[in-house]
Chains A and B, each alone.
Chain A
Amino acid sequence: MKHFNEIKRNIKKDFSSFKTIKIALLGDTSTQFLNVALRGLAYDYHLNIDIFEADFNQIELQLLNTDSEVYQFKADYVIIFYASHKLLNKFYKTNVEARTAFANNKINQLREICNTINQHLTTKIILYNFPEIDDQIFGNYANKIISSWLYQQRKLNIELSALSASIGNLFICDLVSLQNQIGKSNMFRPSVYVNSEMVLNIEALPEVAARTLSIINANDGKIKKCLILDLDNTTWGGIIGDDGIENIQIGGLGIGKAFSELQYWAKELKNRGIILAVCSKNTESIAKEPFEKHPDMVLRLEDIAVFVANWENKAANIKHIQSILNIGFDSMVFLDDNPFERNMVREHIPEITVPELPEDPAEYLEYLYTLNLFETVSFSALDAERTTQYQVEAQRTQLQQSFVNEDDFLVSLNMVSKIEPFTKFNTPRVAQLSQRSNQFNLRTVRYNEAAIAQIGLDENYASFSFNLEDKFGDNGLICAIILEKISKEIFFIDSWFMSCRVLKRGMENFVLNTIVSFAKNNGSSFLKGEYLPTPKNDMVKDHYKNLGFEEQENYWFLNLTTFEPKKTFIQNK
């Protein structure tokens, strides 16, 4: 992590080519340095942060009064920083009888603040939770005393998580976890606090800023989607080609434990939707043997979406993995114990994240825990199926190679699509697709769950979600459309995003036919589309042109009266 001073120097650099994010920052202690740290570190995230910093200790004044400066500022994010130290002070001033309700009262206040914001602004809220202060009034016995500070503080932190689970656009920035990682003495310096009214030590500021920006980044779709594992001395101890299956180190004993625990961690990531891939310098059959036969292996072949073991260089192999998965290099993490391989991959693929694993495998996991690699802003039960879907995709690729004619191949897939408006059941997945789709995304407007739910209810909008099934299985919800009725005659395509898993299946034609017939049935004569370029969506630059739209002053129009339905091999389910 960079030092605060280096980050501060970033502020003088040129941010003009970066996306601007407006942040309202409010704290009950001094936030001036946090402001500097956020703006400075944002340079490394390629973000230009425009901060409105409220005057000291104005959180309620600004947020509960909807005429205040914060409401005029129209921030993309409202960041609220209540300090544990101030809270402890309030607790001590609270009557003993009222203390058992202290956490609940604070939660009610925070809920009111969030609700007020959400009634008047379209924004996201980031709230820091409360790093623990053990005041030692009861010692260990505090755990038995509901009215103790320690008890109420812990309860508050748990209730805060519950509050964030119930308010879609409320994100907790986990300072509790950060303090647990870097230690209280690094997090908080009494002399700094006493002299400046700042509760964050200067050494901790870059960490806090990084945690905060990681939430903003994830909301912007910048997330890791894939973990690529080397095998020898990364996934297991020893070298399978030399040592043989019976001698590699894995399981409950000695150093084997370190590798087993790393595998459990990788499996857990896979279950939450991170794609696992293998990239190893090995003979393929030998490399696969432990996955098939070793009793102590946690990871099995079915956990691995793409398995590459050969003697080619690793950068080339990772490029191959990327081409199958069709995701950006910047969404990939590569774990390898060998510094040479790491540097080689970094040099050839600068976008990929390659953690500098410690020399001792026993340290791997603890080190990885400090990196917060897999920040996300959405989770749906379907995520666990992602690996299977990519494996099936590999089968489809094989089948495709057996057909000379593209149409014959598409017919053979027996594709059916289920179309539904946004409902409470598909809202999480639609929101997730909105956050994750970078390439096939015409305008890249990111919607969270609350916003998607709102659009589903708004009469000015028509929403469509598309599932795609074929003979190999269900691809799940892979495409969404938001139409906005902007006049009697015209529907504007506010959003068109699609998972790249289903490219080249003619989904675009099917979707267009669907929305054209909807628009016609609702008395419209035109569809209006727009392409907003990003560094990643070049793929759909000519999307509307290819579908027969005509350009007019940077917008694309389709005349519905002369529209001929497009050829499609997808049936309506």
Chain B
Amino acid sequence: MTTREEGLTQIIEVFKDVLDDQSITLSESTTASDVEDWDSLNHIQLVVAVEKKFKVRFTSKEIQSWANVGEMITCILSK
């Protein structure tokens, strides 16, 4: 079972990879508007990459529901 901290670390890796930006830092309270390039299109790519990393599948509703990174982690851990 992944802890929230491990989850966050892995999500940061995914973000760095997908957005091609090694300087990205995230916390649980980070929202899309805090990260340059985290637009609606890249969001889809991030979601698919996170799914792959954690070997989970999100529902369409979940994909749209997260207000911040913490909620994404909660969602992953609930799977």
List A residues at the B interface (Cβ < 8 Å).
Answer: 4-5, 8-9, 12, 32-33, 189-192, 194-196, 198, 201-203
Contacts and interface: CB of A to CB of B under 8 A. Distances in A.
B59 A191 contact: yes
A274 to B, nearest CB: 38
B18 A5 contact: yes
B9 interface: no
A31 to B, nearest CB: 11
A202 B60 contact: no
A196 B48 CA distance: 12
B63 A5 contact: no
B45 A4 contact: yes
Best-surrounded residue of B43, B49, B60 (most CB of chain A within 10 A): B60
Contacts of A203: 48
Interface of B is mostly: helix
B40 A196 contact: yes
Given A5-B18, A8-B20, A9-B20, A190 B44 contact: no
A33 to B, nearest CB: 7
Contacts of B58: 191
Interface string B38-79: 001101110111000000011110011000000000000000
A202 B50 CA distance: 13
Contacts of A8: 20
B17 interface: yes
B48 A192 contact: yes
21 contacts: A4-B45, A5-B18, A5-B20, A5-B49, A8-B20, A12-B20, A32-B41, A33-B45, A189-B48, A191-B57, A191-B59, A191-B63, A192-B48, A195-B43, A195-B44, A195-B47, A195-B63, A195-B64, A196-B41, A196-B44, A202-B45
A191 B60 contact: yes
A9 B57 CA distance: 25
A191 B57 CA distance: 9
Nearest to B17: A5
Contacts of B45: 4-5, 33, 202
B64 to A, nearest CB: 6
A192 B44 contact: yes
A292 B64 CA distance: 67
A192 B57 CA distance: 11
Interface of A is mostly: helix
Contact of A194 (B17, B20, B60): B60
A155 B58 CA distance: 36
Contacts of B47: 191, 195
Interface residues of B, number: 17
B36 to A, nearest CB: 15
A193 to B, nearest CB: 9
B37 to A, nearest CB: 11
Nearest to B14: A5
Contacts of B20: 5, 8-9, 12
Interface string B18-48: 1010000000000000000000110111011
Best-surrounded residue of B17, B43, B45, B49 (most CB of chain A within 10 A): B45
Contacts of B60: 190-191, 194-195
A4 B48 CA distance: 11
B42 to A, nearest CB: 10
Cβ-closest 7 pairs across A and B: A194-B60, A191-B60, A196-B44, A202-B48, A195-B63, A9-B20, A192-B44
A196 B64 CA distance: 11
A33 B60 CA distance: 19
Nearest to A9: B20
A202 B43 CA distance: 12
Nearest to A191: B60
A121 to B, nearest CB: 30
A180 to B, nearest CB: 22
Contacts of A33: 41, 45
A33 B48 CA distance: 13
Contacts of A32: 41
Contacts of B59: 191
Contacts of A5: 17-18, 20, 45, 49
Contacts of B41: 32-33, 196
Best-surrounded residue of A8, A32, A203 (most CB of chain B within 10 A): A8
A201 B60 CA distance: 14
Contacts of B43: 195
A194 B44 CA distance: 10
Contacts of B44: 192, 195-196, 198, 202
A487 B40 CA distance: 57
Contacts of A191: 47, 57-60, 63
A285 to B, nearest CB: 55
